Amino acid sequence: DVKVTQSSRYLVKRTGEKVFLECVQDMDHENMFWYRQDPGLGLRLIYFSYDVKMKEKGDIPEGYSVSREKKERFSLILESASTNQTSMYLCASSLWLSGANVLTFGAGSRLTVL
Amino acid sequence: RKEVEQDPGPFNVPEGATVAFNCTYSNSASQSFFWYRQDCRKEPKLLMSVYSSGNEDGRFTAQLNRASQYISLLIRDSKLSDSATYLCVVNMPDNQFYFGTGTSLTVIP
C-alpha cells in the first residue's frame, strides 16, 4: 500500500511565525498535492507538483510556498502564519492504477494559528 | 459554478436501510471518478473507483452516467460503521482532482 506520511498531526503556532509542513511518500509517485480542508468549503488545492523541483499554483496559493527537492518529499511553507490559515492540511500523491489516477492522502496536519 | 456538486445532507438512516448519494460534475472531459470515505477528523480514504459499466463491492454499488454527468453511490443494509462523510472525486485529463463538499451519513441504531 502507498504510504503518505505527514510529519506533524497537530501544530499550534503564533501569528507571524514561519511554519513547515512536511510530507513524504514511499511509492515513487511523481504527482504530489497540498490541500486545505475547511468546514463547508471542502478541499481546496494550494499547490501541486508533477516532478522534482517543479511546482504549480493551485486555487489558493496566496500565503503559501512549496518545495520539492526530492521526489518523495513535498513541503508546504507558511512564510508568516495568519489566523485565517488555521485549517486541516492534507498532503496527497497520485498513481495511475487500473486505468485510473488514484489519489492517496496523508493523515493530515491540523494547524491552529493564534 | 462548482466543478463537482453533492448534496451535503445530512442523511440520517436506520440500520439496515438502503441509502443513495448522487454527485454531478460539470466538465464532460472528466476521465476518472471515485468515492472516498472520510471519518471525523481523519483523512479521506478511497472507498471505490467508479467505472463506466458500474461496479459493486459488497454492499456498495457505484454507477456513472456520462450522458447526464453524474455518479452515484448506493449503500445497502447500512451498518453503524458506515457513518462518515462520503466525498465524490473527479479526475481531469490535466491530472487535477475536483472534490464535492461531501455528504454526511449517520446510521442510527
pLDDT above 80 for B2: no
Asked if the C-beta of A39 comes within 8 angstroms of chain B's C-beta atoms, the answer is: no
The DSSP symbol for A84 reads G
What are residue B108's DSSP bridge partners?
Answer: B14
For B4, nearest residue in chain A (alpha carbons) = A42
Interior angle at CA B65, CA A42 and CA B14, nearest 5? 60
Task: Convert the pLDDT of each residue in A6-32 to its tens digit.
Answer: 988 999 999 999 999 999 999 888 899
Cell of A14: 503564533
Answer yes or no: is pLDDT of B31 > 90: no
Q: What is the pLDDT of residue A95?
A: 81
* B32·A101 Cβ contact <8 A: yes
Q: How far does B45 lie from chain A, in Å, by closest CA?
A: 7
Determine whether the interchain pair B101/A103 forms a contact, defined as Cβ–Cβ distance below 8 Å: no
Give the contacts of A32 (CB within 8 A, at least 6 positions apart).
A23, A25, A48, A49, A68, A74, A91, A92, A93, A94
pLDDT for A79 = 94
pLDDT, tens digit (0-9, with 9 covering 90-100), for B33-78: 999 999 999 999 999 999 888 899 999 999 999 999 999 999 999 9
Q: Name chain A contacts of B94, Cβ cutoff 8 Å.
A: none
Nearest to A106 among B43, B95, B101 (CB): B43
Identity (one letter) of the amino acid at B62?
A
In the numeric block, the cell 489558493 is attached to: A60
User: What's the pLDDT tens digit per position in A54-109?
Assistant: 999 999 999 999 999 999 999 999 999 999 999 999 999 998 777 778 899 999 99
Asked whether A101 and B95 are in contact (CB, 8 A), the reply is yes
**Which residue of chain A comes nearest to B7, CA vs CA?**
A40
Do A85 and A111 form a contact (C-beta atoms < 8 A)? yes
